[in-house]
């Protein structure tokens, strides 16, 4: 996998004309992305909330396994319909955290007829790093941190465009898991948010990243938070956003800021995690749209081209 990521860093500067697709099975959603390097040919998603099932039961119920396999099969078929020459399924935190994660991979492969892999937390972070840097023109030697808060886990990767990812850490806590544990009330309230901050601090004990000159935030929580706090997430912006999210009902957030209610439901938790990570990185974070799936598409395109 490391060789694929290194190739993707280089390929991201030259890729064009090879349509490939990636289906990302995450804790909250299943998403598909197909690009030819310059144009997005397909981008779809389905909310399945696998992380909530895992948090409650420790595993994914049989009916949800079937539903997930059916959704992935449909998205893979849609990817091929728009011309994807290769399609790959990547399973993130649900594959690592569910007791039946291996079964999830098997039923998906059987249903969609394309390879499926359970990413390690490190691989997930490194692909997000590649995707983020493909969208931002930073100097090749500058130290950059990429923060990816997902539904079931959060990754921080520090490196540069020239050297690639150099420092990778993950915590086994994301917006869906933290919401299920501590922030399920609507609205969650200031006390619950404070307790959630303490929980994240516990997970970040011993977390000492190399301090970057630039920090980028990717993932659904960061993109949704941008609608409230803007594209630059510093300490003040995150504090103000948390105060708002603690006391504002989901329906009102959705109406006021145009945030999907499913995303608004986990946004306070995602913001808590982003806030704690921003504090440790020592610099504000710029929200960028590209991340894990974009990096995975670049890695798949590089591999597909090399094999041609």
**Separation of alpha carbons 253 and 261, rounded Å:** 8
Cα distance from N-terminal residue to C-terminal residue, the chain: 19
Whats the size of the chain, residue-wise?
A: 308
| pLDDT value for 304 | 76
Contacts of 308 (CB under 8 A, 6+ apart): none
Enter the pTM of the model.
0.92
Residue 298 predicted with pLDDT over 50: yes
Mean pLDDT of the chain: 93
| pLDDT value for 302 | 84
CA atoms within 13 A on the CB side of 19: 15
CB crowding 145-178: b at 16 or more within 10 Å, else e: bbbbbbbbbbbbbbbbbeebbeebbbbebbbbbb
Residue 165 predicted with pLDDT over 70: yes
Q: Mean per-residue pLDDT for 227-252? A: 97
pLDDT band at 1 (very low <50, low <70, confident <90, very high): low
**Separation of alpha carbons 182 and 269, rounded Å:** 9
CA proximity to 89, closest of 74, 208, 40: 74
Show the tokens assigned to 179. Answer: 């919401």
* Domains in the chain: ranges and CATH: 2-122+291-307 (3.30.420.40), 138-287 (3.30.420.150)
| Element of type H or E holding 159 | strand 154-160
- Torsion angle of the four alpha carbons 81, 6, 14, 286, in this order, in degrees rounded to the nearest 10: 90
% of the chain at pLDDT higher than 70: 94
Residue 290 predicted with pLDDT over 90: yes
Show the tokens assigned to 51. Answer: 């992380």
% of the chain at pLDDT higher than 90: 86
Give pLDDT tens digits for 57-111: 999 999 999 999 999 999 999 999 999 999 999 999 999 999 999 999 999 999 9
Residue 29 predicted with pLDDT over 60: yes
Residue 254 predicted with pLDDT over 80: yes
Q: How far apart, in Å, are the Cα atoms of 306 and each of 39, 47, 190, 301?
A: 21, 34, 53, 9
**Separation of alpha carbons 85 and 151, rounded Å:** 29
| pLDDT value for 18 | 84
Residue 137 predicted with pLDDT over 80: yes
| pLDDT value for 116 | 95
Label the pairing between strands 40-47 and 86-91: unpaired
User: Residue 237 pairs with which residues in a beta bridge?
Assistant: none
For helices 121-133 and 2-11, the axis angle rounded to 10 degrees is 10
pLDDT band at 305 (very low <50, low <70, confident <90, very high): confident
Compute the radius of gyration of the chain from its Cα atoms. 18
Residue 14 predicted with pLDDT over 90: no
| pLDDT value for 11 | 45
What are the φ/ψ torsions at residue 145 (nearest 5 degrees)?
A: -110, 135
DSSP readout, 263-294? HHHHHHHHHHHHHHHHHHHTS-EEE-S--HHH
- Positive or negative torsion for Cα 279, 281, 282, 288: negative
């Amino acid at each position: 996998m490391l060789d694929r990521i290194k190739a993707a860093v280089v390929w991201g500067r030259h890729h064009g004309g090879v349509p490939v697709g990636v289906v990302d099975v995450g804790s909250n959603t299943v998403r598909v992305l197909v690009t030819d390097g310059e144009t997005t040919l397909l981008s779809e998603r389905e909310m399945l909330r696998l992380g909530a099932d895992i948090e409650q039961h420790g595993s994914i119920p049989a009916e949800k396994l079937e539903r997930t396999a059916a959704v992935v099969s449909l998205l893979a078929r849609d990817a091929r319909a728009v011309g994807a020459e290769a399609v790959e399924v990547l399973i993130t935190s649900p594959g690592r955290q569910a007791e039946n994660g291996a079964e999830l991979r098997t039923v998906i492969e059987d249903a969609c007829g394309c390879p499926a892999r359970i990413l390690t937390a490190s691989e997930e972070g490194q692909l997000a790093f590649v995707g983020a840097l493909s969208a931002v023109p930073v100097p090749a030697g500058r130290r950059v941190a990429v923060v990816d808060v997902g539904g079931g886990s959060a990754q921080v990767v520090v490196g540069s465009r020239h050297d690639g990812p150099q420092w990778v850490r993950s915590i086994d806590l994301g917006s869906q898991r933290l919401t299920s544990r501590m922030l399920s009330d609507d609205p969650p309230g200031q006390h619950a948010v404070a307790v959630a901050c303490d929980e994240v601090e516990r997970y970040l004990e011993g977390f000492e990243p190399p301090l970057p000159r630039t920090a980028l935030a990717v993932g659904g929580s960061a993109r949704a938070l941008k609608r409230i706090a803007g594209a630059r997430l510093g300490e003040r912006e995150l504090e103000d956003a948390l105060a708002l999210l603690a006391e504002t009902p989901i329906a009102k957030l959705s109406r006021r800021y145009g945030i999907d209610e499913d995303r608004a439901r986990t946004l306070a938790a995602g913001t808590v995690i982003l806030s704690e990570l921003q504090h440790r990185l020592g610099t504000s974070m710029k929200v960028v749209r590209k991340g894990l799936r974009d990096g995975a598409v670049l890695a798949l395109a590089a591999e597909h081209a090399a094999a041609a």
